[in-house]
Amino acid sequence: MRNLLSVTLLLLLALMLPIEASRRAKGHKGGKHDKSRPVSECSTAETRYGKCIPERGDCGDGLREATCKDRTDKIHCKVPCNWKKDISDCKYKFGPWGSCDAATSTKSRSGTLKRALFNAECQNTVKVSKPCSPKTKKARGEKKSN
């Protein structure tokens, strides 16, 4: 009786594995390791990429056009939230934040270009600013006053 039960469970498991595998394959979105996508005939230097356009709102997951020769594909991309849209395809190395400007109540910092993604046209240096923090940091060892 035990052998019959074991064989039945083994057969049931063997039948369920292909079903589960096909279910996983259908839900796979694709990406770097997707082998089913055809290999492009174009190199990255020959491909022209458009701006990443978010699906909803100002940031998050979106799509960009990739054009090579006479073929245009839509590829997935991501627009970082709370970031400058005009430099989103450019990577910069930023210095520390400057002191707060009392007149504008903002602080700023500059960055130099590290690399351009998707053949983007990037400025060599950029300057970004943000509002000053209303809180002031306490020095170490300083006690709260009640």
With a CB cutoff of 8 Å and minimum separation 6, the contacts of 11 are none
Closest CA to 40 of 68, 8, 62: 68
pLDDT at residue number 35: 38
| Whether 130 contacts 145, CB under 8 Å | no
**CATH T-level assignment (fold) for domain 42-82:** Heparin-binding Growth Factor, Midkine; Chain A (2.20.60)
Domain boundaries, the chain: 42-82, 84-134
pLDDT of residue 93: 92
Tens of each residue's pLDDT in the chain, 146 residues: 778 777 887 777 677 766 665 555 555 454 444 433 444 577 777 888 888 888 888 778 889 888 888 888 898 888 777 655 556 678 889 999 999 998 988 999 999 999 887 777 788 998 888 888 776 666 676 666 55
Output Rg (C-alpha) for the chain, integer angstroms.
26
